Chains A and B, each alone.
Chain A
């Protein structure tokens, strides 16, 4: 069980990746406590621990591949959704642009649905992410599931 430590930077509301911790919600409205604690997807007793920034950068790079193919997109998204976190806006931005390169609007909408589901009981994460992604969504012409009405039955 990976202990989820709070990201760095007191005062700033959002930092790196949103970790979904079993101990409770970290509401975006609350400011972060100020201690430096690198979060990792793995806990090693030895070896370097990957920081949130490195994790984000790695995934942004993955989806930014210019000739990314459908399999890689699917694999990347399914893996990312498998992690115990909600991906940062910049990772999702990169993934949505990958969908654009692949001419796959359906997957782009699906990604937004998946991210909303991933946030679980933390209802404020998804609206924040949509707010952050608004420029990308309007640039690429992606409608959110809410705009299309498919978020309801």
Chain B
């Protein structure tokens, strides 16, 4: 059931009627069927609903509202025959070609065959498989942000980190090592076992 808003009055109309009159040129039919009172200032449901399939001239990349309840067209290598033809609105030339298509195809010239192909499909397989330069953008972006991170890390080291503890100096570390050997840390298999106490050197 579709809801039609008219001032304060809501008129409920069967959904099937709404779908039949989706196209703008059937607006009069809709009005005559649904609304007898011409004083009602109504917002037609079709205006509340996103636009139907985009017209032929609009590229699919354009961010318009696409009616997802209608069959869509797309170029995909793994879907050779999409749900609908690319061009739905045919010029007179296209229409006559379509008529000619009903006869023997050997009578069509190469250009006509290509034209028929382009009516039904947007890109050929070769065009679909065209390599793009996107990878350069991606890699450029990756390296840029890695570089930026490097700068951030350097700045941190220079300006954020506190002083190094004194335990990191060579002098302290030598004394620490001597203390560990004197304490016989891990004398069996570990640290002190590697030290030759008679000769005073590492084994």
| A12 interface residue per 8 A CB criterion | no
| A131 interface residue per 8 A CB criterion | no
* Beta-carbon contact of B125 and A117 below 8 Å: yes
CB-CB under 8 A for A105 and B79, given A141-B105, A152-B126, A153-B127: no
B115 closest partner in A (C-beta): A106
* Beta-carbon contact of B105 and A140 below 8 Å: yes
| B108 interface residue per 8 A CB criterion | yes
* Beta-carbon contact of A105 and B83 below 8 Å: no
> Considering the complex, which residues of chain B in the window 69-84 have a beta carbon less than 8 Å from any beta carbon of chain A?
77-83
Interface size on B, residues (CB 8 A): 30
| B129 interface residue per 8 A CB criterion | yes
| A104 interface residue per 8 A CB criterion | yes
Residues of B bordering A, CB below 8 Å = 77-83, 85, 98, 101-102, 104-108, 110, 113-114, 116-117, 119-121, 124-127, 129-130
Name, among B82, B83, B106, B124, the residue most crowded by chain A CB atoms within 10 Å (CB to CB). B124
B98 closest partner in A (C-beta): A103
Which A residues touch B110, using CB under 8 A?
Answer: 143, 147-149
B117 closest partner in A (C-beta): A106
* Beta-carbon contact of A110 and B121 below 8 Å: yes
6 closest cross-chain pairs (CB), A and B: A141-B106, A141-B105, A106-B120, A114-B80, A74-B81, A113-B125
CB-CB under 8 A for A73 and B125, given A105-B108, A148-B117: no
* Distance A116 CA – B120 CA, assembled complex (angstroms): 19
B119 closest partner in A (C-beta): A106
CB-CB under 8 A for A81 and B78, given A116-B125, A150-B126: yes
